[in-house]
Chains A and B, each alone.
Chain A
Amino acid sequence: MAKQPEDRRLELLQGTLDMLILRTLQWGPQHGHGIGQAIRAQSDDLLKVETGSLYPALHRLVKREWLKAEWGVSEANQRAKFYRLTAAGKAQLSREQDRWSQLVDAIGRVMNPARAGKE
């Protein structure tokens, strides 16, 4: 297996994990392991979610009723808990997405004032 060099890996920004989970579940229900793998794959192996953060986050989102959890059988015929986005979760995702792009935009303007000015 090709292990990623440690220096390439990025720390997750505080408060973005929830958004990433919600986003990942947009394509359909998934179990915890799958969510972790999906984030890793989508980020081109740059983001790695620790299970110690992932599972408490999943439970937190269930408690807020943005996700719904139910037991199912995985593609590998393995019993696993699947998480599914609720209507409230979808709304939350779009809110977080908006906030995120505003944040990126704002930080971008600060970091690259010249380019921001040209646009």
Chain B
Amino acid sequence: MRPSQNDLDDEIRGHMALSIKERIERGEDPESARLAALKEFGNVTLTRDSMNAVWHHRWRESVEALGRDIRFAVRALLRAKGLAATVVVTLALGIGANAAIFSVVRGVLLRPLVNRDEDRLIYIRQSAPGVGAANLNFSVPEIIDIKSRATTVSAIGDFSTVDFALIGLGGEPRMVKAGVVGGSFFDVMGLRPVLGRLLGPQDDGPNAEGAAVLTNRFWTTSLNSDPTVVGKRIRLGQRSAVVVGVLEPSVPYPADTEIIANVVSSPHHLGATMVTSRTHRMTELFARLAPGATVEDARAELTAIHAGIVRDHPEAYVPKANTQLRVSKLREQIAAPARTILLVLLAAAAVVFVIACSNVANLILARSVRREGELAVRAALGAGQHALRRTLLAESLVLCGAGAALGILLAQPMVALVARYAARFSVRALEVRVDTSVLWVGVGLAMIAAVLLAYVPRLPSPCAPAGLGLASGGVRITPGTNRRLRIFATTQIAFSFVLLAGAGMLLATLVALQSARTGYDMRHVVAFDIPTPATGVGGAKVLDFYQRATERVSTLPGVTGAAVGSFVPWRDAGTFGPGIQFTVDGYKLADGEENPRARFRIAGPNFFSVLGVPLIAGRDFTNEDREGTELVSIVSQSVAQRLFPNGDAINRHMWWVDPYFGPKPAPRRIVGVVADVDDEQVLQRTAMTIYQPVRQIGLAGRLFVHTAGDPHSVMPEVARVIHELSSDQPVERGATLEDVRAEVLSPERVNAFVFSGFAGIALLIAVVGVAGVLAFSVSARTREFGVRLAVGAAPRHLLARVLSEGIVIAAIGIAAGAAGGYALARMAASVFDQVQLPGVLTVTVAAGVLIGAAVIASLMPATRASRVDVLQALRSE
């Protein structure tokens, strides 16, 4: 039991009394007895302290000392508010950025899914890298083969996506994206309903009742979480279905749909093509691992099964396509697209943290040089190296603690921002919330920074004569300190350069994309989706509707033309698959050469003039190019040039060789040649494209309107006219081509924006860093400048001298950054597929910006150096 302080005092007093009493009894007079007893006892305080020390733990003593030091540090820092504020804000930016990005990384890449036993849930994908198909999907015969042979998975669920016109549930008819699933899907996925029930085995097959489950997003956002929705009958295209339940909130994968229906709701899924064609692939596959099986087992078995299927059906798998099967955990599959971008962001945030730390290190170092006198006094009074370090540690703890607190506050809005950004790559980012992990990351980083910072300053050496430091109140920089200051400033410049060059590269890409010539009239063309209100072929009724709609819309005021088509540039990218093989009369394939491929597009009359694509030769489609008349087509210039080098494309014939277009070739006469456009990628490449008239195909689904004035004011009018013609015809997603391009480029824009943000923060910190180093160096060299001025140096020489110091720091930093960045990019290239190096222009601009920033940062200290008052400077020491 630890005795109290009173107890100790009493004990010592008791001892004294006994000792005195004894001496008096031996005959000494009271006064000399008291003195003798005191003398015999020795140092009372020291004894008392050693008695106390017995009861103390060592660490406890250190903690108490640290507590004292922290109180002292807070007082000391309150006297240096400017420095403290700079340090805290700099650290807060570094810590906040890291904490925010880490939360998102954790939420998107590491957190488990809500699905039951989600680590047993796998995703199976078929791809054909040979023809550029990253996801080929599966056909029904393939699924049957896999199901019948696989033993490492206990159940397989299937999901395919179709569009339905949904009627019911109130409001106008609308197009919804729907998942069509078999009976095992929800059980395999391990999801639960929040209302009603999900689809089960009883809903499978062609004889079940039509049944649909609403997704949680659709139910909450479009139906206001209506609790009475279960049991309602809805129309889905030509069929009807009953709403049986609402799904719990979960990651919508593979597609973000409004509803999920059973097979019987989709006539397409019951058709012969779907059921029997091995190459009609539109289904995604999920599976649950069998008890005891691992992902590796499943991967080995399923790829072997797939190889067997490919062997058994050579007609369905072209060798060139190089069809492959991939198995991955569902969680990893969902996170995959965001992985690279998030890791890059994490690296950028780490770089910002390094820059922030080295800047803070600089400020602390400069401060400790100013404090050298104080530290020397402490050392002279007997403070050991540990005690001095503890003093410094206390100060950096206070600074970093404040920085972390502010950083965590900053992180909260940043998490929302980054999550919204990351949501473009992975739907999981939408569920990311600020949680305690932000706190732990912030605190951890602050601790790292605090310890690093405490070990940056040099302590007064116990051997060195302290007289100098004690005697003069002035600041002296040793060459070592000066070198350290410059190294930190150079580090900041180097890292900032890497970030700036990276951001510059993204900006350059964005500018190139945004200013690229597309071949379209971007400002005046409005595109609409006018999906056919039922899946299935359009037929004459739809074709007549197209014709009447374009005629009516063309007569609207402010409209100069209207046409139907099949493909909104960029927005519909990827939906028509890769190019389709075709040939033309008289074209001889070289040995081993494959048939050329071209994009297949459908166009109504006036399509090219409405979109602003020039007709180079021949004529446009007309309403007379219809069912029953001569088959015709229009080709892009690249097709004409490549296949008809003599310039005689017009009136020759082309035909598709893909079996999708029937077993017999149907030659089409080429009636026109149009300029090349690239409607898949914004940055135009030569894309061979062949157009066919809508009336000879039967489907379009997109409406293009060319306007004279403000395109946005025309949009409601177009929708009104079309609803007059057909009341349940959806008219959706009206946007000018410029809007479409902006929308398509928004990931690039956000990329560039986020990286520029990082680079901006880094640049700001680096400028503060360079300015700080020079300001400090100038203030410490006041005497030197005074002497120089006194012996006749012109002020502008001093100005130039300080400026050049700043530029040298920047130049060395840029060189180091360029070398390091290049090495880093080479290293990254071995891990990631696509690593680009910024162009020469970008690098030059980034370097220029940094040099400029360095000049600006050096300007203030430089002018101060040139304005040194000679007399005062010389008298100051």
Contact = CB atoms under 8 A, between A and B. Distances in A.
A81 B47 contact: no
B15 A32 contact: yes
Interface in A30-44: 31-34, 37
A8 B50 CA distance: 28
A6 B769 CA distance: 66
Nearest to B41: A51
B43 A52 contact: yes
B14 A56 contact: no
Interface in A48-92: 50-52, 55-56, 59-60, 63, 69, 71, 74, 76, 78-81
Q: B interface, by DSSP: helix, strand, loop or mixed?
A: helix
B54 A59 contact: yes
Contacts of B572: none
Interface stretch (B17-25, B172-180, B555-563, B577-585): B17-25
Contacts of A56: 47, 50-51, 53-54
B743 interface: no
B55 A63 contact: yes
Contacts of A71: 10
A98 to B, nearest CB: 26
A79 B18 CA distance: 9
Contacts of A50: 42
B40 interface: yes
A55 B51 contact: yes
Given A1-B26, A63-B55, A76-B21, A52 B50 contact: yes
Contacts, number: 68
Contacts of B717: none
B54 A63 contact: yes
Contacts of B51: 55-56, 59
B11 interface: yes
Contacts of B19: 33
B12 interface: yes
Given A1-B28, A51-B41, A52-B46, A79 B21 contact: no
A52 B54 contact: no
B53 to A, nearest CB: 7
B479 interface: no
A50 B10 CA distance: 18
A34 B23 CA distance: 14
Nearest to A77: B21
Nearest to A76: B21
B42 A79 contact: no
Contacts of B10: 71, 79, 81
A79 B54 CA distance: 23
Nearest to B18: A33
Interface in B519-551: none
B55 A51 contact: no
Nearest to A37: B22
B18 A80 contact: yes
Interface residues of B, number: 27
B170 interface: no
Given A32-B15, A56-B47, A59-B55, A78 B21 contact: yes
Contacts of B27: 1
B38 to A, nearest CB: 11
A31 B10 CA distance: 12
A65 to B, nearest CB: 10
B40 A51 contact: yes
Contacts of B50: 52, 55-56
Size band of the interface chain A makes with B: 20 to 34
Contacts of B15: 31-33, 51, 55, 80
A63 B51 CA distance: 11
Contacts of A78: 14, 17-18, 21
B55 A81 contact: no
B3 interface: yes
A76 B14 CA distance: 11
Interface string B697-738: 000000000000000000000000000000000000000000
Contacts of B42: 50-52
Interface in B474-500: none
B14 A80 contact: yes
A80 B19 CA distance: 12
Contacts of A55: 11-12, 15, 47, 50-51
Most buried by A among B11, B17, B22: B11
A51 B12 CA distance: 9
Contacts of B22: 33, 37, 76
A55 B19 CA distance: 14
A31 B21 contact: no
Most buried by B among A51, A63, A79, A80: A51
Contacts of A69: 3
B596 to A, nearest CB: 93
A31 B47 contact: no
A33 B20 CA distance: 11
Interface in B30-64: 40-43, 46-47, 50-51, 53-55
A63 B56 CA distance: 11
Contacts of B12: 55
A81 B51 CA distance: 14
A59 B535 CA distance: 92
A35 B40 CA distance: 15
Contacts of A81: 7, 10-11, 14
A34 B17 CA distance: 12
A51 B37 CA distance: 11
Nearest to A57: B54
Contacts of A63: 54-55
A56 B21 CA distance: 23
A33 to B, nearest CB: 4
A73 B2 CA distance: 21
Interface in B403-457: none
Contacts of A32: 11, 14-15
B48 to A, nearest CB: 8
A80 B10 CA distance: 8
B37 to A, nearest CB: 10
Contacts of A60: 54
Nearest to A59: B54
Nearest to A1: B26
Contacts of B41: 51-52
B18 A51 contact: no
A68 to B, nearest CB: 10
A56 B12 CA distance: 11
Contacts of B3: 59, 69
Nearest to B15: A33
Nearest to A80: B14
Nearest to A33: B18
Contacts of A79: 10, 14
A31 B14 contact: yes
Contacts of B11: 32, 55, 80-81
A64 to B, nearest CB: 10
Interface in B47-102: 47, 50-51, 53-55
A74 B47 contact: no
A18 to B, nearest CB: 12
Contacts of B46: 52
A56 B10 CA distance: 15
Contact of A52 (B26, B28, B47): B47
20 contacts: A1-B27, A1-B28, A31-B15, A32-B11, A33-B14, A33-B19, A33-B22, A51-B15, A51-B40, A51-B41, A52-B50, A55-B50, A55-B51, A56-B50, A74-B14, A78-B17, A78-B21, A80-B14, A81-B7, A81-B11
Closest 9 CB pairs of A and B: A56-B50, A33-B18, A80-B14, A59-B54, A52-B47, A81-B11, A33-B15, A60-B54, A51-B41
Interface of A: 1, 31-34, 37, 50-52, 55-56, 59-60, 63, 69, 71, 74, 76, 78-81
Interface of B: 3, 7, 10-12, 14-15, 17-19, 21-23, 26-28, 40-43, 46-47, 50-51, 53-55
Given A63-B55, A76-B22, 4 more contacts: A51-B41, A52-B47, A56-B54, A80-B14
